[in-house]
Structure 1
């Protein structure tokens, strides 16, 4: 099964082509340029350099959230566009699970993917690596670092932090005396391969969707929506 995977949930952008669990090619860019400028050319060049056409791709996958509202919209819109014409199945992969897949080769290790959600919160889910498989211990959620610290303290086991919020959490959690480690630099940030690996699991579970059914999973209201609700509540007071 050939999977084209897109990752645009945070500052870095990535695209990958995989066949089952094998990485064929991957492109990664952490330059600060907008994803609307980089993501589609990245996909086009990646396929061309692999000698593949879009028709040869079986599944189009994307990191569907949580993450940056703008980044998720760009990624999902790009995946829809790539899949629609050929009526290809899509996989909306948890961004947090995709990050955890990069460390799934470890054995009985606690993985703590984290993304900076602003407003003193992080997006997080907890997993255990099982030597090539993942055991999910929590659902994706937005919570404060204080709440996360409490959960990890109760767990009482070394946590490996991965994701663009790992540095922030490492500093805050070590201040609280928690046993945490950073993932290696080359595995720290979100990647297209992680998205592809998560998509493979969804395919095996029969959980692929159509391009029309693909949607972001924000896990929190956008700033614009929060401001709108605040104004409405103020008017009703």
Structure 2
């Protein structure tokens, strides 16, 4: 199976190829460089593997939540490729992708919990709780956006670990949440390589959709903009 995955849902910009179980990735921290970097990454990946776009079997992308602009960029590129190549698309939650990365990076034990937090701005977090099921993240409850003071651990799990840059606001979280967290890795952000590996499993489970159903997931219904001091 040959699958191309993209992620621009955070300050990271990445593209990855899943080729018969192997994953090759291009990744760069570029908060304002997604549009400039993404398609060259795709072209380089395909060229290095001796592949053409028509050789692909499916596409995948981190559908959010995350940066509104970033999520829209990946969505637009994926939809354009999907329509042009007549390929199915596998949307993957950005929170789920980080939970998957945390399982490996933090050596989360079988059945252990991963609480993923992203900074959603406006004094809120994107929040998702997952359980390690045979190396894959299983969502507990629902993904949500809320103030740090309102986060909850969605399952009765003995050992929890935290992942994502939203954990910078740990001091504002309820004591019953913070006290149950064994360790935290604030450096983990979504990566296309994680999206690709999750998407390959989802594709095998029949979770691919046509291009028109490959939609961004914002969680927050309204995008509010707050004027910063000194900005016009």
By the TM > 0.5 criterion, same fold? yes
Q: In angstroms, what is the RMSD of aligned CA positions? A: 2.5
State how far apart, in whole Å, the 1-side matches of 2:221 and 2:33 are: 22
1:133 maps to 2:132: no
Residue in structure 2 matching 1:123, options 123, 126, 132:
126
Taking a change above 3 Å as real, the CA distance of residues 165 and 50 of structure 1, as seen in their structure-2 partners, is farther
State how far apart, in whole Å, the 1-side matches of 2:155 and 2:60 are: 35
State how far apart, in whole Å, the 1-side matches of 2:155 and 2:142 are: 17
Shift of 1:126: 0.5
Contact 1:114 1:165 in 2 (8 A): yes
Total equivalences in the alignment? 220
Tell me whether 138-147 or 71-80 shows the greater mean CA deviation: 138-147
Query: Equivalent residue for 1:111?
Result: 114
Shift of 1:175: 7.5
Shift of 1:115: 1.0
Q: Secondary structure at the match of 1:99?
A: helix
Where do 5+ consecutive residues of structure 1 fail to align? 228-237
Give TM-score scaled by structure 1 length.
0.82
**Pairwise mapping of residues 12-51 of structure 1 onto structure 2 (< 5 A)?**
12-19=12-19, 22-51=21-50
Shift of 1:134: 2.6
State how far apart, in whole Å, the 1-side matches of 2:60 and 2:157 are: 35
Query: Equivalent residue for 2:169?
Result: 169
Q: Secondary structure at the match of 1:123?
A: strand
**Pairwise mapping of residues 56-67 of structure 1 onto structure 2 (< 5 A)?**
56-67=55-66
Shift of 1:94: 1.0
Shift of 1:161: 1.8
Q: Secondary structure at the match of 1:93?
A: strand
Where do 5+ consecutive residues of structure 2 fail to align? 227-232
**Pairwise mapping of residues 49-198 of structure 1 onto structure 2 (< 5 A)?**
49-105=48-104, 106=108, 107-148=110-151, 151-152=152-153, 155=156, 157-166=158-167, 168-173=168-173, 178-180=179-181, 181-183=183-185, 185=187, 188-198=188-198
State how far apart, in whole Å, the 1-side matches of 2:215 and 2:154 are: 35
Query: Equivalent residue for 2:203?
Result: 203
Contact 1:100 1:194 in 2 (8 A): no
Bigger share in helix: 1
State how far apart, in whole Å, the 2-side matches of 1:18 and 1:70 are: 25
Shift of 1:90: 0.5
Contact 1:69 1:222 in 2 (8 A): no
